[in-house]
Amino acid sequence: MADFVQTMKDWRRMCQYMEKLHPDDSCCGCPLEGYGCPAIYEDNNHVDYDDVEKNVTTWAAEHPVVYPTWEEWLSDKYNLAYNDDFRLAMSREPIPADIAQKLGIEPKEAR
């Protein structure tokens, strides 16, 4: 069984991702679509929570949390133009999660 807290965080992240992807119908394409998602329906006596957990953890594994590279973050934050000198100076590795969290940087979707 997956960790409850992590599953709930992944479920929220999945819903936010779907909302960004389909602003007019955030449930469109959701792995829980058709299951009577207990997040939005009051009558969820028919919901198989083991199946919900499986769908959420599968989605989370396919959509890992990643952070931008230093190059991407600095470019976005300070509106820097990409050039060869800038690219050579900046690491293209993702910002480590602990540093990103301290800087208040939100994760982005994996490419």
pLDDT digits over 21-48, tens only? 888 877 778 888 766 566 666 555 677 7
**Is position 75 within any domain?**
yes
44-99 pLDDT, tens per residue?
A: 567 778 888 998 999 999 999 888 888 788 777 777 666 666 666 666 678 889 99
- The reply to whether 111 falls in a domain is no
Q: pTM of the full predicted structure? A: 0.62
Structural domain boundaries enclosing 91? 66-106
Whether residues 57 and 82 share a domain: the answer is no
Residue 17 lies in a domain: yes
Q: What is the number of domains present in the chain?
A: 2
Contacts of 103 by beta carbon, 8 Å cutoff, 6+ apart: 95
Same domain as 71, residue 95:
yes
Claim to verify: residue 23 and residue 58 sit in the same structural domain: yes
What distance in Å separates the CA atoms of residue 67 and residue 101, rounded to the nearest whole number?
10
